[in-house]
């Protein structure tokens, strides 16, 4: 089944404790992206990657890192989480780019930073 | 700057009626627009898209209209069903880049 998977689905952590949220897709998509969703703000793009070893900042990249060592995986790293990063996070993937094709979204990761 | 906005945060319709969800965008160079549906506890799901060289596109029970003159697009859902209850997002892509900009979303309630 074609899908985007995220782990963990739920995470409660404390300020400053490094964490990684994994994202994997099995559709051989070149493009992958991370979003955060907050009430009243819709989805805001954090980082995106057009292909392996190619990443770029979205609209809200501060406090986040990403890597794209393999085509199928695009982990989101919070080196020192803070309470304002409490949010619902979505990973997405698509063919060459969102400007040319629809994105497929993962189920989401709900993160709480205390 | 670029923005994609929605006119109404919530919309309530009677089952069987048609629904219209509106969206405004500000970047006149945008050339690709997408509507997503997000059900509670799930990620956004593609509904329909339209490119800037089109005014209208139809899918199964859904139609997207694009008015480039006033930078407005709408999603029309025919014979709205309880399963259509969700939050609907319009999104803008293209413009020569790879970013996607989402609107804040409209929550659709379907009354039985």
| Residues 51-90, chain A, touching B (beta carbon < 8 A) | 56, 58-59, 90
Q: Contact A48/B95, CB-based, under 8 Å?
A: no
The pLDDT tens digits for A40-88 are 788 999 999 988 999 999 989 999 999 999 999 999 999 999 999 999 9
Q: Does B1 touch chain A (CB under 8 A)?
A: no
Choose from B34, B44, B57 for mutation: most chain A CBs within 10 A: B44
Model pLDDT, residue A81: 98
Q: Contact A98/B89, CB-based, under 8 Å?
A: no
Q: Which whole number is the average pLDDT over A95-105?
A: 70
Model pLDDT, residue A99: 52
Angle at B95 between CA B49 and CA A22, to 5 degrees: 70
Q: Which residues of B touch A50 (CB under 8 A)?
A: 98
Distances A77 to A81, A85, B46, B58 between C-alpha atoms, Å: 9, 12, 27, 40
pLDDT string in tens for chain B (112-residue length): 345 654 458 999 999 999 999 999 878 888 889 999 999 989 999 999 999 899 999 999 999 999 999 999 999 999 999 999 999 999 887 655 567 788 888 999 999 8
Distance (Å, rounded) from C-alpha A103 to C-alpha B49? 11
Q: Which tops the pLDDT comparison, A105 or B7?
A: A105
Q: Does B10 touch chain A (CB under 8 A)?
A: no
- Check if the beta carbon of residue A46 is closer than 8 Å to that of residue A56: no
CA A78 to chain CA centroid, nearest Å: 11
Model pLDDT, residue B9: 81
Q: Contact A105/B45, CB-based, under 8 Å?
A: yes
Model pLDDT, residue B1: 39
Model pLDDT, residue A110: 97
Distances B15 to B39, B47, B58, B64, B82 between C-alpha atoms, Å: 17, 19, 21, 20, 7
The rounded mean pLDDT for chain A is 92
Model pLDDT, residue A65: 98
Q: Contact B99/A59, CB-based, under 8 Å?
A: yes
Q: Does B34 touch chain A (CB under 8 A)?
A: yes
Q: Which residues of B touch A59 (CB under 8 A)?
A: 99, 101
Distance (Å, rounded) from C-alpha A113 to C-alpha B81? 38
Q: Which tops the pLDDT comparison, B2 or A35?
A: A35
3-state secondary structure B25-83: ECCCCCCEEEEEEECCCCCCEEEEEEECCCCEEECCCEEEEEECCCCEEEEEECCCCHH
Which residues on adjacent β-strands are paired with residue B62?
A: B77
Q: Contact A41/B104, CB-based, under 8 Å?
A: yes
Distances A78 to A5, A64, A90, A112 between C-alpha atoms, Å: 18, 5, 14, 12
Angle at B29 between CA B26 and CA B32, to 5 degrees: 90
Q: Which whole number is the average pLDDT over A1-16?
A: 95
A96: confidence class by pLDDT, cuts 50, 70, 90: low
3-state secondary structure of A111: strand
């Amino acid at each position: 089944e074609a899908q985007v998977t995220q782990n963990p689905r739920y995470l409660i952590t404390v300020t400053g404790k490094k964490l990684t949220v994994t994202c994997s897709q099995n559709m051989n998509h070149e493009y992958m992206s991370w979003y955060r969703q907050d009430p009243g703000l819709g989805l805001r793009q954090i980082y995106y990657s057009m292909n392996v070893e190619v990443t770029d900042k979205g609209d809200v990249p501060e406090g986040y890192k990403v890597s794209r060592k393999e085509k199928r995986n695009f982990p989101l790293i919070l080196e020192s989480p803070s309470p304002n990063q409490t949010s619902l996070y979505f990973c997405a993937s698509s063919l060459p780019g969102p400007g040319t094709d629809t994105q497929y979204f993962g189920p989401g990761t709900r993160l709480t930073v205390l | 700057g670029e923005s994609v906005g929605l006119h109404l945060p919530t919309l309530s319709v009677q089952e069987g009626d048609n629904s219209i969800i509106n969206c405004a965008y500000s970047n006149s160079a945008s050339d690709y627009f997408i509507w997503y549906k997000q059900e509670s506890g799930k990620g956004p799901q593609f509904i329909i898209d339209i490119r800037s060289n089109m005014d209208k596109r139809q899918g199964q029970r859904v139609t997207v209209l694009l008015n480039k003159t006033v930078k407005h697009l709408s999603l029309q859902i025919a014979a709205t069903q309880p399963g259509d209850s969700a939050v609907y997002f319009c999104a803008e892509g293209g413009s020569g880049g790879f970013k996607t900009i989402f609107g804040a979303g409209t929550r659709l309630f379907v009354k039985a």
